[in-house]
Amino acid sequence: MRSLQENGEQKVESKIEEAVAPLREKIKDLEKSFTQKYPPVKFLSEKDRKRILLGVYCFNCGLQVFGIQVFSAGLGMNDFDICVLRRDEITKEKVGQKDEKRNVEHWIGHENFELINHDVVEPLYIEVDQIYHLASPASPPNYMYNPIKTLKTNTIGTLNMLGLAKRVGARLLLASTSEVYGDPEVHPQNEDYWGHVNPIGPRACYDEGKRVAETMCYAYMKQEGVEVRVARIFNTFGPRMHMNDGRVVSNFILQALQGEPLTVYGPGTQTRAFQYVSDLVNGLVALMNSNVSSPVNLGNPEEHTILEFAQLIKKLVGSRSEIQFLSEAQDDPQKRKPDIRKAKLLLGWEPVVPLEEGLNKAIHYFRKELEYQANNQYIPKPKPARMKKGRTRHN
C-alpha cells in the first residue's frame, strides 16, 4: 500500500519536474541577460565619457536610416552587437507587432543607450564624440532596389555626418567597402589600388556612392580639419543578418536548411573571402581609436570560389540540397581578396575566427530564426533577384 502511494508520488514529482525544467532554463536565460556587463560610464568623469553615434541601416523600413547613440566609456563588442552588419531589423513589421525592436530589445531602457529614429539624408543636430557612419544598404539586391536612395544615403548622408562631425569636433569613421575596387585587375587588393568600377552599371549607386563618400571624407579632413577614418570592409557575415538579406551567405545557409537548391550565379568560379562579424567589429573599433587616417582594408584573406563555398555550407548544414546555376549577375567582381598587411602593421589587427567556426555560428542562428519564424507562422524565403518595373535587379 505504502509503496503504491510512493510510486504515485514519484510519478507526480517527475511530471512536475518535466513541466518545470523548461521554466528553469528560461529563468537562467533571463538571469544571464541581467548580468550582462556594460561599460562603467556612471563612475567616469565627464571628460572621459564618449558619446558615440552608430548610424545604421534599417532593413524593414525600406531605406529609412536609424541612428543609435551609445553613451559609453569606449566601444566594445557588446555595444556593437546591436547593429553592425545587421544594419536592419530594428522593427519587424512583417513578422508582427510582438517582434518590434527585437534586435535591440536588450538595449532598450539601458541608461547608456538611446535609440534615435532619423534619416541620415536629413541633417542631425546632436552632441557626439565619435561617429560610426554605417548607414547604407550593403547587400547588392538591396542597394540596387532603390539606387537613387542608395546614392542619397551615401552622398547627402555622408555630407550630413561630416557636417555634424565638423560642428561638434567629432571623429568620423566611414564604413566604405571592397566594392570601391570594382571588378579588380589587381589581386589581392591593397589600399593603393584605385579600382575598376563601371560608373553607369547596376552596382554603381553603391560603388560610386562609397567612392565619393571617401572623397568627401578627405575633402573635409583637408579643408576643415575633420578627423576621419575609412574602413574598406570586405564580405562579412554572422548572426543577426536579415533572413531576406540576399547576400550569398544568408541565401546559401537558408536554402541548405530548408532543403532548397543553392542558387549559384554564373559558373561559381568567382571568388570571395569572408570574415566573421566579431573580427570586423574589433577592426572598426581599433581603426576608430588609432591615428590612421588613410583607408584601411578590413577582411579575412581566406579566398574561395562561390561554388566551393556552396559545397562547404551544404556539408556544414548536412543538407541534401542541389546546387542550381543561375545566370551571372552583371558586373559581378570575378575575384576579391583583401591585402590586410596595412591593418596588421598599423592596427595590430587580423581576423581570428576561422571560416568554418563562423559559419557554424551563423547556421545555428539561422536554424533558430527559422524555428522562431515557424512558430510565428512566417517563413521568409531567401531573396531571389527581385523585379522592379519589369527589370531584374541584377541585369
Binding mask 139-178 for ligand UDX (x = CB under 6 A): -x------------------------------------xx
247 sits near ligand UDX (criterion: CB under 6 A): yes
Place of cell 541577460: 33
Q: Are 219 and 370 in contact (CB under 8 A)?
A: no
Q: Which stretch binds ligand UDX (CB under 6 A): 115-123, 127-135, 247-255, 351-359?
A: 247-255
Q: Which stretch binds ligand UDX (CB under 6 A): 19-27, 258-266, 350-358, 370-378?
A: 258-266
78 sits near ligand UDX (criterion: CB under 6 A): no
In the window 200-239, what residues touch ligand UDX (CB under 6 A)? 233, 235
DSSP 251-300: HHHHHHHTTPPEEEETTS--EEE-EEHHHHHHHHHHHHTSS--S-EEE--
Question: Is 206 a residue of the active site?
Answer: yes
Q: What is the number of residues in the chain?
A: 395
303 sits near ligand UDX (criterion: CB under 6 A): no
Our CB check for ligand UDX shows the closer of 154 and 235 to be 235
Q: What are phi and psi of 174, to 5 degrees?
A: -95, 125
Minimum distance, C-beta of residue 18 to ligand UDX, in the bound complex (Å)? 43
**Among the listed residues 273, 329, 359, 362, the single contact to ligand UDX using CB under 6 A:** 329
Catalytic residue among 57, 206, 220, 265: 206
Q: Are 214 and 239 in contact (CB under 8 A)?
A: no
Q: Is the peptide bond before 188 cis (omega within 30 degrees of 0)?
A: yes
Amino acid identity, position 43:
F
**Among the listed residues 265, 276, 349, 366, the single contact to ligand UDX using CB under 6 A:** 265
Per-residue CA distances from 352 to 16, 147, 164, 201, 239 (Å)? 45, 35, 34, 35, 17
Q: Which residues are catalytic?
A: 206
Q: For binding to ligand UDX (CB under 6 A), which residues are involved?
A: 138, 140, 177-179, 233, 235, 247-248, 251, 263-265, 270, 272, 306, 329, 332
